[in-house]
Amino acid sequence: MQSLAIILLCILSAVVYGILHDQVTARVCVEYFTIGHPPIFNTTNPTLLGLGWGVVATWWVGLLLGAPLAMAARAGSRPKRDVFSLVRPIAILLTTCAVSAVAAGLVGGILAGQRMVVLVEPLASGVPREKQLAFLADLWAHSASYLMGFLGGVVVIVRVWRSRGHRQAEQPS
């Protein structure tokens, strides 16, 4: 049951992060969702788009983190980690993703404003010129979240696995 709880914690955490992230980015540039994504949701409402895409685009990320994290925390004969011991590492991971997304969004926006990065076809023709800077800022923010989520997720998994070895070494023989 602990393994399933870890997987569910990761999915829920990813979805909550995704919804919050998309609530912000949908307000920065709604076209990122209405033009830059398949038309799954028939709306231009940023709140609804943020809710919908926040779930669709992140539940699987939580699963991809949760399954190996559950194995790293529970598999084998080494001392086991429970779901509650993983709340803090996951919160740190998501905070790191959020900070990285803000920084990358700002950098992407600045570079777009300087015309050092530009939107390419077919999006360049579809996104109104006055929205392209904001679109690129969103793109950079989302890319940073996925990249940091993946890299940070690997770090969390490895650290959890290694922490179990340290706990075993500290136990009396």
What are the extents of the domains in the chain? 2-170
- Give pLDDT, residue 171: 47
- Give pLDDT, residue 166: 57
Write the secondary structure of the chain as one string of H (helix), E (strand) and C (coil): CHHHHHHHHHHHHHHHHHHHHHHHHHHHCCHHHHCCCCCCCCCCCHHHHHHHHHHHCCHHHHHHHHHHHHHHHHCCCCCCCCHHHHHHHHHHHHHHHHHHHHHHHHHHHHHHHCCCCCCCCCHHHHCCHHHHHHHHHHHHHHHHHHHHHHHHHHHHHHHHHHHHHHHHHHCCC
Per-residue pLDDT of the chain (173 residues; tens, 9 = 90+): 989 999 999 999 999 999 999 999 999 999 999 999 888 888 999 999 999 999 999 999 999 999 999 999 999 888 999 999 999 999 999 999 999 999 999 999 999 999 998 888 898 889 999 999 999 999 999 999 999 999 999 999 999 999 988 544 444 44
* pTM of this structure: 0.89
- Give pLDDT, residue 27: 96
- Give pLDDT, residue 170: 44
- Give pLDDT, residue 65: 95
